[in-house]
Structure 1
Amino acid sequence: MKAYLFPGQGSQFIGMGKNLYKNSFLAKKLFQLADDVLEFRITSIMFEGTMDVLKQTKYTQLAIYIYSVIKAKISNDFNPDMVAGHSLGEFSALAAINVFSFENGLILVNKRASIMQKICESIHGGMAVVFGLDDSIIEDVCKNDSGIIVPSNYNAPEQLVISGEYQALKRVCFSLKERGAKKIFILPVHGAFHSPIMEPAKKELKKFINKISFKDSKCPIYQNVTAQSVIKSNDIKKNLVEQLTSPVKWKQSIENMITHGAISFTEVGPGNILQGLTKKISKNLAKKI
């Protein structure tokens, strides 16, 4: 069975999509549609902007969504048996398999990004990747800190992202180094995504999602919140809202996809971050069996 994976923030680069725009009539049409729907030239930011602008959440999410969905739409062999998207990537995956339209996805991602950007600007939060520790140790250290700090992305074996208030993040990173973490890398983001800090965004996003037309999925999508396959539109909507404050269960999603028959994984988007994570997860799962 063929699985397709859609990345989240972190894969962006200046010039992304420019070759697609030049070489595909459909891609050009969709890029122009994106500019029209958003009422500003996101293509200019993607093709020849600066990294300082592109890395802002309100532009990054749109850029990766647009690039990923267009790449799927112009592909001759995009025929998935199952899909998954990492955080923002869930929106790309859902548009690619026509659960909602490209245009409605643009509106949703734009709204989600602007809500998250506002919270990032009002609360000093951060995220860090922790390498070389068992999940349970990281969970325990986060739980015992006095601030808001939680595991937010279960990316791969011994690779977990934590998210929360910046001072709590610094304390927990120090404690995890003492507990034997091989490496800790503070991510270049200004927000605490997938943490309770994002709670104010949920009500606003839920109202907005309920205005958008969703169809049941034609193939299973393994959503971040549950790591389980989902098809029904109402379940998909609920999980997209919950995703704002819940951890991304990427490792568990890939394990379940493999268990349910996935034998090939194709990443649809800029970069190949998810391919690397999938190889680690697959090797670790093989050791358990």
Structure 2
Amino acid sequence: MNAYIFPGQGAQFSGMGLDLYEGSTLAQELFEQANDILGFSITDVMFQGSAEDLKETKVTQPAIFLHSVILAKILGNSFKPDMVAGHSLGEFSALVANGTLTFEDGLKLVSQRALAMQKACELQPSTMAAVLGLDDDIVEKICATTDGIVVAANYNCPGQLVISGEVEAINKACESLKEEGARRALVLPVGGAFHSPLMEPAREELASAIENTFFNKPNCPIYQNVTASAVLDAAAIKTNLISQLTAPVRWTQSVQQMITDGATLFTEVGPGNVLQGLVKKINRDAQTASANYTKEA
């Protein structure tokens, strides 16, 4: 069975999407449509902007979404997913890919999500840290016993977990994790505590936008970050998507469940190959690939 997976924030790079634009008339139409929907020329930033320009919140999330979704669309008949999943932001790309959301609605929600998260970040100093070389239960225990808000945020693969919370609490937790034997506990250069209770203002803002968006019945299951299980019910998908901002990304568990349910090939659709690396660390026998398209003659 073919599983298609979609990357999240951090996969952006200068010049992203230009090859798609130059190689496909459908891609050109979709990129131009995106410029109209967003009200600014995101293609200028994606194709010619610096790495610093691409870090701007209102750009980063829509840019990765556009690269992933447009690539999926120009694959045409060769794009036949039996199941899909996306890492954090990538879940929105996956929902367009499996027909739950339209291109337009997906892009609008991603843009609103980015701005809502930015506002939440500005309310309170917060950050995230990568923890390497410890079992999940040890990391969870240290988070639970550290003063302040600090939680497990991204279960990326065995031995790699990202924690999220208040700056002081993250720093304290990192010290405790190193004492406990973590190979690394490194504060990340991010603007806020994603997938933690500190994203509650963003969750509330995004909830109304999601509630007011029509979700179709998907044409294949999505393995959502919140549940790490196959979901086909549009109402349940909405509920999980709303919860996603304050809940952890259960990527390890999602990939394991997809393999249990019959996934034999994981194809990453979008910029970079980070997810392929994580899949291999979760199950070394899993087959992985990058989505490739043929340029129009």
Q: Secondary structure at the match of 2:283?
A: helix
Report deviation, 1:184.
2.4
Q: 2:99–2:217: 8 Å Cα contact kept in structure 1?
A: no
Task: Describe the superposition over 1:57-90 as per-residue Cα deviations: whole angstroms up to 9, x where unpaired.
Answer: 2211110001000010001311000000000000
Task: Measure the CA separation in 1 of the matches of 2:17 and 2:284.
Answer: 32
- Please give the residue correspondences for 1:156-235 in structure 2 after superposition, counting only pairs within 5 Å: 156-235=157-236
Match of 2:41 in 1: 41
Alignment of 1:262 with 2:263, yes or no, is yes
Query: Amino acid of the residue matched to residue 144 of structure 1?
Result: T
Report deviation, 1:249.
0.3
Q: 2:139–2:177: 8 Å Cα contact kept in structure 1?
A: yes
Query: Amino acid of the residue matched to residue 12 of structure 1?
Result: Q
Match of 2:294 in 1: none
Match of 1:99 in 2: 100
What residue ranges of structure 2 are gaps of 5+ in the alignment?
287-297
Match of 1:138 in 2: 139
Q: 1:165–1:192: 8 Å Cα contact kept in structure 2?
A: yes
Query: Amino acid of the residue matched to residue 103 of structure 2?
Result: F
Match of 2:295 in 1: none
Q: Secondary structure at the match of 2:284?
A: helix
Q: 1:157–1:284: 8 Å Cα contact kept in structure 2?
A: no
Q: Secondary structure at the match of 2:170?
A: helix
Report deviation, 1:55.
1.0
Report deviation, 1:153.
0.3
Report deviation, 1:205.
1.1
Q: Secondary structure at the match of 2:113?
A: helix
Q: 2:226–2:243: 8 Å Cα contact kept in structure 1?
A: yes
Task: Measure the CA separation in 2 of the matches of 1:121 and 1:146.
Answer: 22
- Please give the residue correspondences for 1:4-23 in structure 2 after superposition, counting only pairs within 5 Å: 4-23=4-23
Task: Measure the CA separation in 2 of the matches of 1:261 and 1:101.
Answer: 27
Task: Measure the CA separation in 1 of the matches of 2:122 and 2:207.
Answer: 21
Query: Amino acid of the residue matched to residue 148 of structure 2?
Result: G
The two structures, once aligned, show a CA RMSD in angstroms of 1.1
Alignment of 1:248 with 2:249, yes or no, is yes
Report deviation, 1:185.
2.7
Q: Secondary structure at the match of 1:216?
A: coil
Query: Amino acid of the residue matched to residue 37 of structure 2?
Result: V
Match of 1:75 in 2: 75
Match of 2:53 in 1: 53
Query: Amino acid of the residue matched to residue 22 of structure 2?
Result: K
Task: Measure the CA separation in 1 of the matches of 2:268 and 2:6.
Answer: 6
Report deviation, 1:96.
1.4
Report deviation, 1:213.
1.2
Report deviation, 1:211.
1.3
Query: Amino acid of the residue matched to residue 192 of structure 2?
Result: G
What residue ranges of structure 1 are gaps of 5+ in the alignment?
none
Task: Measure the CA separation in 2 of the matches of 1:59 and 1:168.
Answer: 29
Task: Describe the superposition over 1:209-256 as per-residue Cα deviations: whole angstroms up to 9, x where unpaired.
Answer: 111111011101000000010011100100010001000000000000
Q: 2:31–2:43: 8 Å Cα contact kept in structure 1?
A: yes
Match of 1:88 in 2: 89
Report deviation, 1:53.
2.2
For normalisation by structure 2, the TM-score amounts to 0.94
Task: Measure the CA separation in 2 of the matches of 1:163 and 1:57.
Answer: 18
Q: Secondary structure at the match of 2:266?
A: strand
Aligned length: 285
Report deviation, 1:284.
9.0
Task: Measure the CA separation in 2 of the matches of 1:164 and 1:78.
Answer: 38
- Give the ranges of 4+ consecutive aligned residues of structure 1 lying more than 4 Å apart after TM superposition: none
Task: Describe the superposition over 1:178-218 as per-residue Cα deviations: whole angstroms up to 9, x where unpaired.
Answer: 11011223222111000000011222211111111110111
Q: Secondary structure at the match of 1:283?
A: coil
Task: Measure the CA separation in 1 of the matches of 2:63 and 2:54.
Answer: 8
